[in-house]
Structure 1
Amino acid sequence: MSCGLLLPFIVVLVGFSWPGCHSQDLSIAVEFSEIVFADVSQLNLYLTMLGNFTDVDPESGLTGIFADLWGKGVSDECLTDGWTLITDTLQFKEYALQMRAAQSHPPRLTTMAFTGNGKYLANYELCLGVKEDDPTREVPMTAKVCDMNEYVIGVQIGMCVPSSCSESDLYVFINTVLSKYNFISGVYFSCLTKYQWTWDTIFVTCLLSLFAIGVICGTTYDLGFRRLPSKAKDSTQVVSSNVLPNAKQPQQNQVLELNERDGLSSAENDADKYGAIVKEGPDNHEPIVAPVENNDVEASGAGNKVAEKKPRKRDVLLDKILMSFSIVTNGSQVLQAKKSSANLGALNGLRVLSMFWIILYHTAYFLFGTRLDNVYHLSSGVGGEVWFEFIWEAPFGVDTFFVLSGLLVTYLTMKQMDKSDGRINWVLFYVHRYVRLTPVYMICLGIWTSLLLPIGIGSNKTESFIAARTICKEYWWTNLLYINNLVPYPGSVNLCMGWTWYLANDMQFFIFTPIVIFLLFKPKRRRYGLLVLVCVTVGSCIVTAAVAGYWGFTVGNYSGQYNNRSDDFPPDADRIYAKPWCRVQSYTVGVFVGYLIYKYRGRKVCIPLIWNLLGWVLALGTMVTVLLAMSGTSETEPLPQWFAATWLGIRRFLFAAGVGWVAFACVTGNGGPVDKFLSWNFWLPMARLNYCAYLLHPCVIFHFLLTKKAMFHYTPYEHMVFFFGVTVVTYLLSLFITLLVEVPSIGIEKALLGRPSRK
């Protein structure tokens, strides 16, 4: 064990934790830190560790503290390797010097005090390269990286130690040494090793493999059997009616039905909403013909006419299921950028840009606690500038999703009711929603909790993903039931896939939306529907303000609270952020806008220029005010409590109202250049991938950061590069999961449930 190499870090810990350290006078800690950087002092420490070379323990053949620890909780091989490493370091042997160079430099307390960074990572490649770089070199041991963590101080120091030393060996050694100084510290070790595959990782892999097999079979069937008309033309057979029912545009409907993710995915409203009516679109391919079976053909004299039987139900079902997996057909439809005539195109731009905004925020926010080496610069330096408020306030992008979700559910459902004389199969209304959201959701949950663990190595990676896995093992069922924003109460955004609180809220709002839609659709009850919307919106604002006032929540740059009622709750307890009664105000705005769009039936609304400009100024001005209003507030003096509670109660409604105007103006022909930009065809394929992008982007960010072997130094330029990289990788992975899981799941659901009657 590199026990001698540990001693400088022990000195640092003692220096950091010395009683004088916690006062404003840091001289004692600085003095101890200075010792670490003096090679002559380290030499003396090494010699002290080794003790008297003439005083050799007869049993172990070791000296100094290594002999003292023989047989006392540290493995013999570890002690021997540690003693060898120290003596070889003093003899300047290459491998020993390489291991020493691979270790992180012990920090100065002053550095930590001014940067906020307590993580100092070892050089992973240099440490493991002790044996791997030159296999012919005679090296008495292999090396590995271990982190020494002091959770009281918050320091993490990377070290290069012999592979024979376990985490418990290092723990026993460090605490034995510290006890000699009558010092107790919360030190533990975590070594960077590959995580072994477990049954749940294998299960998720097998599940993805089954989908992959389905894609291979479906694509082969599509290319090898469904696209045979050109061959049939060259033959003497005339195929007249052996086309499977509903075979034209085989998978277009299921791809278009990605709008079931209303707030996140595309707004192609001509899809078969809730399975009530299917609008068959023109096919871009040649007519699709099923393979001709011998028992369906009767040869007639000199001619080769084909007399066919009606395809069997099971053949039609099998055809639909296989075509659900065709990556050729599905891929062409997912990536198609051509809008339909009834498409609410501007909504696609809104949702994709909101997704970009959220990714931009998460690429900054997730740096804290992972790999950021200039913490105070991001939190108080550049992070305190006015322009950076547009990044810190990106969670308002989720309110955009709520507005679009309420808008699309209301508009599409009322449009469908208009076609079917007010009749909707309400059972399938809910079944379709649940079945089409959940499969890909659960697959992404499996990727997050199981598949990312054995992929890649990094400091704190295993511990972080094991913690996430442990939480999901206990509460995965709350995600399945879409109640993870409420259970366990009061809840936290740090629960299983914490960012999916949005999906829980959206599903809960979806469940109750038909009540309002039914009232709005009936002319005689329309005023009651509008009254319900007003009452729910106002009630949500009042409840949010009341909760904020009761718990003493503040706004702006002041970080304190008005009272201590929150002291009995965990620091990350959630009482407002993910609660449906506080979030529904944005959704009801979307429901109202969806009703207005339905009322005008997609017609252009002629708003006088002056009123249109006034609407845009008020909408954009309100949104910018919500984002920037608190940026210049005092860090030491809180705003009045009544103002803080009121602001927390209405700010999301105000932002949602601005988004609602943008959506309404663009859809009704009053958007001008904004509408042209938001309706750009480029957004349409991206919008179809938005749902998977929302589920996967934290996986991409966390996996990248936790497998990163160096710290991230924040600058706006590096942040932009990081953001663009994460965005590209996220949408590529989203395309993969969409074609592998999401679209096939929609196709299977349609094939099994079929086309319901109008009830």
Structure 2
Amino acid sequence: MLGNSYLLTSPNVQEDVDTEQNVTTNDVRNEQNLECSLNEVDKLSQLNCTPREDNQSNCARDIHRLFSNISNNIWALQFLDSWGKPGPSILKDSLHFVGNYKQCRKAKAPSVIDKRDSIFNGKYCLLTISSKNLMTKRRANLEPALLQLGSCWPDSCSEYEITKMLQQVLLELDISSNLTVEPTECRTETRETTKATIAAIMIFSLIVAMMFCGTGLDILINWRPQSICKRLSKQDEGLKINSKFKNSDISRSETYVQGTGVQILLAFSLYTNVPKLLRSAASNDSLPAINGIRCFSTMLIVLAHVMLIGTPYFINVPDRSELTTIELVLYALTILAVDNFFTISGLLVTYKTLKEMSTKRWNISWGRFYFHRFWRLTPPYMLSFLFFLGLQSFMGFGALWATVQPADKPLCEESWWTNLLYVNNLNPVIQQCMPFTWYLAADMQFHIISPLMIIPFFFHVYAGVITCCIFLLAQWLITAYLSIQNDWYTTNLLQNMNSPLDYVTYYYMAPYCRLGPFVTGVVAGYILSSNNGRVSMNKLTLVFGWLFCCVFSVAVVYFGSNLKEENLISVYPAAIHNAVSRSAWGLCVCWIIVACSSGYGGPLNSLLSWSPFTVLSRLSYMVYLLHSNIVFIFFGNLDNVLTFSSLLFWMISSCLLMVTCIVSFIFVLAIESPMSEVETILFKNQRKD
């Protein structure tokens, strides 16, 4: 999702605070509750957990030996020293006390003469304790806080035994009403091989084999005849046999690619795909400014998800009141980055479809129109999904590495079909597999209804404009109604923490609330297609257009970044903002694309049309599919949580972006480029038949 973990750790201030005196009173109460909760947790760490004599299980005997040797044996102290200890910034939700995973794994009880005292090793377990008293400033309107404590136990103890033991301890200390022990989760370096694991290994092994075979065959076809011709030309100068051999070789090369199977194999050739991917020249009918917008939008999305996913792995994360103006603006831009893609999607599908309709009139295959979109998205989507579902659990270990990888694996095993059918965004966010892929579902849904907006433009411009206005007005009314009913503030997650999951499900991911930018893109696509990609504009139009773009974009970003509680606007103006802001932002993006494509972009066009962006934009889809899992893998392999600093955050974000681009480059060559070529081969051969 735009991370569940983030929604539970985002800054929030109590809405019922009306005066400074009330704020101070609540802070004092929170600090008193915090001290009480920590004292109770501290009792657990000092408690002698020696079991009763009548408990003769292996776990009980090993725990008895461990605690009886703490005072005079270093090996027992290694177990205790591996436990996590409360640290700073607890009121800022720093509630994860990791301990020392590696030290616990190395801890070992020495053998003794008495055979009843068996040898045991350290077993790292994460204790989760919920506290009703500890309600931090960020959690004032959420469920009780969860304190997570790393602990080290004998490996003879099961998760169930540890949980039951701690529950018994709480009862004996008479603090069970304030602290509740959640199920214990122990870390292990053994990995389960599932059906998804086997399927991922088999399919990706087949893909690698096809890449090797396709590359070898491609090199053989392109180079072997030429080398033979060169040798014969040196030996038989002046003879006509040389030219005859060339012709025969050329015809023989062509026979290699006549079969569909051979063509599909060659589609996986690195020899062809690498130069094609790295080619920076844009086609004649392309809109090069879109490449830069794609790249910057992808960077913002990666930045946002590093922040969302990484927040629980940092301590001392700043509150929203502590963020600088630049950080607030960047946050607002990350929220709008997805709307850039919706706008581009609507523009391109209209631009290309209307150009094809003007050439072929009604002789256009709507079946292929839908199949092309499905095939463009689905193979990379499903194969990357399978890759991480089956193999991510083997990509890390440690205290922060959850036993279930990816975290939504149980949901994915049950509801993977909703992703395949692109309806996953219609489920509540907590029931979604790969929640960040809600965008793909919404984009597919917009493409399904896009002919309803595109076809009227073919008959008359007014028909198309009226149709688009109907869709736009419907989206505005639905969004405004939901905002008023649910008291949603301006369009950002941080200001809607009273009902964060409902806000994400019924507004942020809902297609009926995100249609506006796509519709504006459809209108812009018509304008470009009717003017052959280059619109002539006078100076007055240019001045008005750029002025409109600047004013509206600044207004949208300002209200989206105005996060201080005292600056919140009332519900009705906020409802209007929520309804129209994304459409206004889409119009600004459309103006930039149209102006740059028509030669009126100036330095901005030079930046957005920079040739390296042409290459990087080809990676954007795979970057989107892969980046969240890569971020999870990075943070999950840390030995401990990190102390937040802006410099550290930017360095981590930059490195993760570069790593994601490298991995995406490989996946594009292995999956996306070959699958795109396979579609071309199949339809080309179908036309021949």
What's the TM-score bracket when you normalise by the shorter of the two chains? 0.7 to 0.9
- Sort the Cα spacing of 1:242 and 1:433 in 2 relative to 1 into closer, same or farther, 3 A: farther
Which one-letter code corresponds to 1:145 in the other structure? Y
Q: Match of 1:159?
A: 151
Which one-letter code corresponds to 2:447 in the other structure? F
Mapping of 1:187-336 within 5 angstroms? 187-194=182-189, 195-233=191-229, 234-235=231-232, 238-239=244-245, 290-291=252-253, 311=255, 315-336=258-279
- Alignment of 1:90 with 2:71, yes or no, is yes
Q: Match of 2:83?
A: 103
Q: Match of 2:314?
A: 372
- Sort the Cα spacing of 1:443 and 1:561 in 2 relative to 1 into closer, same or farther, 3 A: closer
Q: Match of 2:126?
A: 147
- Sort the Cα spacing of 1:678 and 1:69 in 2 relative to 1 into closer, same or farther, 3 A: farther
Which one-letter code corresponds to 1:536 in the other structure? F
- Sort the Cα spacing of 1:573 and 1:363 in 2 relative to 1 into closer, same or farther, 3 A: closer
CA contact (8 A) 1:226 1:289 kept: no
Partners of 1:527 and 1:27 in 2: CA distance: 66
How far the C-alpha of 1:418 sits from its partner, in A, is 2.8
**What secondary structure, in the 3-state scheme, does the structure 2 residue paired with 1:742 have?**
helix
**What secondary structure, in the 3-state scheme, does the structure 2 residue paired with 1:154 have?**
strand
Ranges in structure 1 where 5+ consecutive residues have no aligned partner: 1-20, 50-64, 133-138, 244-287, 292-309
Partners of 1:348 and 1:28 in 2: CA distance: 53
1:750 to 671, 680, 683: 680
CA contact (8 A) 1:558 1:635 kept: no
CA contact (8 A) 2:124 2:153 kept: yes
After superposition, the C-alpha distances for 1:391-423 in whole angstroms (9 at most, x for unaligned) are 244121111101111111111122223333452
How far the C-alpha of 1:642 sits from its partner, in A, is 1.7
2:631 to 701, 709, 712: 701
Which one-letter code corresponds to 1:96 in the other structure? A
Q: Match of 2:363?
A: 423
- Sort the Cα spacing of 1:319 and 1:242 in 2 relative to 1 into closer, same or farther, 3 A: farther
Partners of 2:314 and 2:665 in 1: CA distance: 30
- Sort the Cα spacing of 1:591 and 1:556 in 2 relative to 1 into closer, same or farther, 3 A: closer
Partners of 1:511 and 1:212 in 2: CA distance: 34
Please, which moves more after superposition, 24-33 or 613-622?
A: 24-33
How far the C-alpha of 1:387 sits from its partner, in A, is 3.6
How far the C-alpha of 1:700 sits from its partner, in A, is 0.9
- Sort the Cα spacing of 1:637 and 1:658 in 2 relative to 1 into closer, same or farther, 3 A: closer
- Sort the Cα spacing of 1:740 and 1:289 in 2 relative to 1 into closer, same or farther, 3 A: farther
Which one-letter code corresponds to 2:391 in the other structure? L
1:442 to 382, 397, 402: 382
Q: Match of 2:574?
A: 644
In our comparison, the structure showing a higher alpha carbon Rg is 1
After superposition, the C-alpha distances for 1:338-396 in whole angstroms (9 at most, x for unaligned) are 2233321111001110010111111112223x312124x2x334347564232244121
How far the C-alpha of 1:541 sits from its partner, in A, is 1.3
- Sort the Cα spacing of 1:633 and 1:340 in 2 relative to 1 into closer, same or farther, 3 A: closer
Which one-letter code corresponds to 1:190 in the other structure? E
Partners of 1:151 and 1:28 in 2: CA distance: 13
1:404 to 344, 359, 368: 344
How far the C-alpha of 1:573 sits from its partner, in A, is 6.0
Partners of 2:53 and 2:27 in 1: CA distance: 33
How far the C-alpha of 1:624 sits from its partner, in A, is 2.2
Q: Match of 1:283?
A: none
- Sort the Cα spacing of 1:757 and 1:533 in 2 relative to 1 into closer, same or farther, 3 A: farther
How far the C-alpha of 1:668 sits from its partner, in A, is 0.5
2:107 to 116, 120, 130: 130
Partners of 1:423 and 1:361 in 2: CA distance: 44
Partners of 2:583 and 2:203 in 1: CA distance: 42
CA contact (8 A) 1:383 1:389 kept: no
After superposition, the C-alpha distances for 1:48-85 in whole angstroms (9 at most, x for unaligned) are 65xxxxxxxxxxxxxxx3343624xxx32x23332333
Partners of 1:588 and 1:242 in 2: CA distance: 55
- Sort the Cα spacing of 1:672 and 1:127 in 2 relative to 1 into closer, same or farther, 3 A: same
Q: Match of 1:492?
A: 429
CA contact (8 A) 1:147 1:191 kept: yes
Which one-letter code corresponds to 1:712 in the other structure? L
Ranges in structure 2 where 5+ consecutive residues have no aligned partner: 1-25, 110-117, 132-144, 233-240
- Sort the Cα spacing of 1:687 and 1:97 in 2 relative to 1 into closer, same or farther, 3 A: same
How far the C-alpha of 1:200 sits from its partner, in A, is 1.4
Partners of 1:31 and 1:480 in 2: CA distance: 49
Query: How high is the sequence identity, in percent, across the aligned residues?
Result: 27
How far the C-alpha of 1:219 sits from its partner, in A, is 0.9
Higher helix share: 2
Partners of 1:724 and 1:467 in 2: CA distance: 24
Q: Match of 1:68?
A: 53
After superposition, the C-alpha distances for 1:185-233 in whole angstroms (9 at most, x for unaligned) are 2333111112322121121121111111111111111122343232231
Which one-letter code corresponds to 1:592 in the other structure? V
Q: Match of 2:585?
A: 655
Which one-letter code corresponds to 2:606 in the other structure? K
2:530 to 576, 595, 599: 599
Q: Match of 1:340?
A: 283
TM-score normalized with structure 1 length: 0.76
- Sort the Cα spacing of 1:451 and 1:477 in 2 relative to 1 into closer, same or farther, 3 A: same
CA contact (8 A) 2:40 2:175 kept: no
- Sort the Cα spacing of 1:102 and 1:722 in 2 relative to 1 into closer, same or farther, 3 A: same
Work out which structure has the larger RCO, using CA pairs closer than 8 Å and 6 or more positions apart in sequence.
2
How far the C-alpha of 1:88 sits from its partner, in A, is 3.2
Partners of 2:293 and 2:199 in 1: CA distance: 37
**What secondary structure, in the 3-state scheme, does the structure 1 residue paired with 2:276 have?**
helix
How far the C-alpha of 1:101 sits from its partner, in A, is 2.7
Partners of 1:667 and 1:622 in 2: CA distance: 21
Which one-letter code corresponds to 1:150 in the other structure? I
After superposition, the C-alpha distances for 1:610-640 in whole angstroms (9 at most, x for unaligned) are 5424422321331122112254465268533
CA contact (8 A) 1:204 1:446 kept: yes
- Sort the Cα spacing of 1:232 and 1:637 in 2 relative to 1 into closer, same or farther, 3 A: closer
Which one-letter code corresponds to 1:193 in the other structure? T
Partners of 2:288 and 2:175 in 1: CA distance: 66
2:181 to 182, 186, 190: 186
Which one-letter code corresponds to 2:683 in the other structure? L
Partners of 1:675 and 1:215 in 2: CA distance: 37
Partners of 1:480 and 1:101 in 2: CA distance: 48
**What secondary structure, in the 3-state scheme, does the structure 2 residue paired with 1:574 have?**
helix
Partners of 2:173 and 2:637 in 1: CA distance: 36
- Sort the Cα spacing of 1:348 and 1:698 in 2 relative to 1 into closer, same or farther, 3 A: same
Q: Match of 1:295?
A: none
CA contact (8 A) 1:354 1:397 kept: yes
**What secondary structure, in the 3-state scheme, does the structure 2 residue paired with 1:602 have?**
coil
Partners of 2:54 and 2:624 in 1: CA distance: 52
TM-score normalized with structure 2 length: 0.84
Which one-letter code corresponds to 2:532 in the other structure? R
CA contact (8 A) 1:211 1:740 kept: yes
CA contact (8 A) 2:332 2:560 kept: no
- Alignment of 1:553 with 2:530, yes or no, is no
Partners of 1:605 and 1:28 in 2: CA distance: 67
Aligned Cα root-mean-square deviation (Å) = 3.2
2:470 to 523, 535, 548: 535
After superposition, the C-alpha distances for 1:253-295 in whole angstroms (9 at most, x for unaligned) are xxxxxxxxxxxxxxxxxxxxxxxxxxxxxxxxxxx7645xxxx
CA contact (8 A) 1:557 1:635 kept: no
Q: Match of 1:576?
A: 507
CA contact (8 A) 2:127 2:181 kept: no
Q: Match of 1:715?
A: 645
1:170 to 150, 158, 162: 162
